[in-house]
Structure 1
Amino acid sequence: MLSRTVGASGLKVSRMGLGTLTWGGQTDVQDARTMLLRFVEAGGSLIDTAPAYASGLAEKIIGRAIHLDLNRDDLVIATKAGFTVEGPDRIVDTSRSAMLRDLEGSLRRLRTDHVDLWQVHAWGDAPLEETCEALDHAVRSGMARYVGVSNFVGWQSATAATWQRAEHSRMPIVSNQVEYSLLARRAEIEVVPAARHHRMGVLAWSALGRGVLAGRYRTGTPRDSRGANDKLSWFVEPYLTTKSRAVAEAVAKAADGLGITPAQVALSWVRDAPQVASALVGPRTPAQLTELLAADEHELPDEITAALDDITGGPNLLR
């Protein structure tokens, strides 16, 4: 699998990243382990996780694989801090103490002394300079190699990047991880231009439109899908609209013409969009991962990319 640098940094990641949101929940431990090994065997390196994923179990699965099956240096581990789930409540705490406490917990669960990319999971109420000081401390202490942000809108990412570059002693923000797909192109308005201006890479999460662009919801909601799951249906529901289904049909039509699958079309479109360092996917089964890995062999023809652009909002002005 080809690799790319993240923004203007020296961090290199596989151009497809493996997300672990469902690990320990919808995806059982054995399937998660199988996917991790298969991903690395295929040349993938970027593993994206967070303390909030299955209350830390996703990180534990990765840590056990490192301990038993993998060479730590073969992985680029990206985790996050500042966001937790307690019952029905989603709590954002980006204070220095909360951030560093999260990082220390991640390192224990991951069974490693450092993460390659440490990200602020969401914009919080703590003073930005306090949050950023935690990022600086993590790198200086060796607990993290690079730092980034996640789910920051354009002005938030630009503010953080500017603050960090105001003094040479601070660690630059190298990435912003945001939702980006054919069903979620709003990042092109401010987030992607801000990333380009501040020399950050974009890590595009949910490159398959929360699974909808893979084509499984074209005629309904499968019983074994996220959309039918009590804990995850809220995540998929915004894209189960007439407009979204029309986009999914267009993706399926392009796939038929190219002789590949809808998931491979949707992934390729995001992966090769301007400023994207890696497209993150969250397959729930090894079979789904195998299908996505095959996308590395394909690039969309320019005319197909342009047609999908037009159907989903117009030309990408940064192409």
Structure 2
Amino acid sequence: MEQRQLGRTGLRVSHLGLGTMTWSRDTDEHEAAEQLRDFVDAGGTLLDTAASYADGAAEELIGSLLGSTVSRDDVVLCTKGGVRRTDAGGVVDASRGALLTSLDASLARLRTDHVDLWLVQTPDPRTPLDETLSALRLAVTSGRARYVGLANHPGWQTARAATLLAGDVGLAAVEVEYSLLQRGVEREVLPAAAELGVGVLAWSPLGRGVLTGKYRRTIPADSRAASPHLAGFVEPYLGAGSLAVVEAVATAADGLGCAPLDVALAWLRVRTQIASAIVGARTPVQLRGSLAARDLLLPPEIVLALDEVSAPELGYPERR
């Protein structure tokens, strides 16, 4: 599997990453172990998780597998903090104290003394960005994280964080949702990251599963859209607005003799600014489908057609 440089850092990651949002909830320990083995055997390195996934249970499961299923040195371990659990549910908290407490808890669950990449999961409007960045700086200088970054932050915050951390620990990466069904990051986040040398990780490159084509006719009973805790995650892309893109992907797949999943991942892979596309498979079979798609090259005319049908709306000030 191709290894790509993460921005201007010396860190290299596999162009497909393994997401773990369903681990310990919809994906049990045996399925997770099989996924991890298959992923590493295919040359994958980037293993992505978060303190909030399954209320920390996903990290605990990863910690139990590192060393027993694969070596800790075989993976680039990325986790995220900034969403604190309370009795009322998750609360965004990117204050210095909350972030560092979260990181220490993550390290304990992951059974390691450091993560390779640590990200702030979402913007916190109540905490000054400077304070959030001070936690990232301390995480690196204390050795608890090798590199740091942001997730799901807008372009202006990405640019400001990169500027404030320049010449110091640096902003290594921004992780954002990016697919044929969600290209909003092309307006400001991607240009900011390119200008400032920040690496980009794309989560949900299959449009939360919708680009696989599984929802074209109905909602399968064993799918995320039928799951009580994930239905709301998929629902935004099940409307009429996504239909033209999904059908275009399916048409291209039919013409190329492959699956829609192959086309969706191949479209993203030619965007060289994207260091890694993070696929979150519920089962080992689903993951193998993504791994098998890694060598497909789309003809330029198909890339252009997909670009046109999925183009995000631009207006002032991006385009006048």
TM-score interval for Structure 1 and Structure 2 normalised by the shorter chain: over 0.9
Partner SS, residue 66 of structure 2: helix
- 1:225 deviates by 0.8
Residue of structure 1 equivalent to 2:300: 302
Q: Sort the Cα spacing of 1:229 and 1:179 in 2 relative to 1 into closer, same or farther, 3 A.
A: same
CA distance in 2, matches of 1:271, 1:176: 17
Q: Does 1:108 align with 2:108?
A: yes
CA distance in 1, matches of 2:313, 2:11: 30
Q: Sort the Cα spacing of 1:86 and 1:197 in 2 relative to 1 into closer, same or farther, 3 A.
A: same
Partner SS, residue 122 of structure 2: coil
Residue of structure 1 equivalent to 2:59: 59
Residue type at the aligned position of 1:4:
R
Residue type at the aligned position of 2:111:
R
Residue of structure 2 equivalent to 1:16: 16
Q: Sort the Cα spacing of 1:104 and 1:147 in 2 relative to 1 into closer, same or farther, 3 A.
A: same
Point out 4+ residue stretches in structure 1 off by more than 2 angstroms. Answer: 84-90, 314-317
Residue type at the aligned position of 1:20:
T
CA distance in 2, matches of 1:65, 1:95: 31
Partner SS, residue 116 of structure 1: strand
Report if the CA contact (8 A) 1:49-1:59 is conserved.
yes
Residue of structure 1 equivalent to 2:256: 258
CA distance in 2, matches of 1:271, 1:118: 23
Q: Does 1:248 align with 2:253?
A: no
Report if the CA contact (8 A) 1:309-1:315 is conserved.
no
- 1:315 deviates by 11
- Equivalent of 1:200, from 198, 201, 220? 198
CA offset digits 1:254-278 (Å, max 9, x no partner): 1111121101111111222241110
Residue type at the aligned position of 1:160:
A
Structure 1 gap segments, 5+ residues each: none
* Range with greater deviation from structure 2 (61-70 or 284-293): 61-70
- 1:297 deviates by 1.6
CA offset digits 1:38-83 (Å, max 9, x no partner): 1001100000000100011111111111131211111000101111
Q: Sort the Cα spacing of 1:208 and 1:21 in 2 relative to 1 into closer, same or farther, 3 A.
A: same
CA distance in 1, matches of 2:88, 2:300: 44
CA offset digits 1:116-156 (Å, max 9, x no partner): 00001111121212111111111111111101100001111
Partner SS, residue 146 of structure 2: strand
Percent of residue pairs identical = 52
Q: What's the TM-score once normalised by structure 2's chain length?
A: 0.95
Report if the CA contact (8 A) 2:159-2:192 is conserved.
yes
- 1:243 deviates by 2.3
- 1:17 deviates by 0.4
CA distance in 1, matches of 2:31, 2:243: 29
CA distance in 2, matches of 1:269, 1:305: 6
- 1:88 deviates by 5.8
Q: What's the TM-score once normalised by structure 1's chain length?
A: 0.95
Listed as ranges, the matches of 1:165-184 within 5 Å are: 165=166, 168=167, 170-184=168-182
Report if the CA contact (8 A) 1:179-1:204 is conserved.
yes
What value does the CA root-mean-square deviation take over the aligned residues?
A: 1.6
Report if the CA contact (8 A) 1:208-1:267 is conserved.
yes
Report if the CA contact (8 A) 2:33-2:69 is conserved.
no
Residue of structure 2 equivalent to 1:127: 128
Residue of structure 2 equivalent to 1:4: 4
Residue of structure 1 equivalent to 2:84: 84
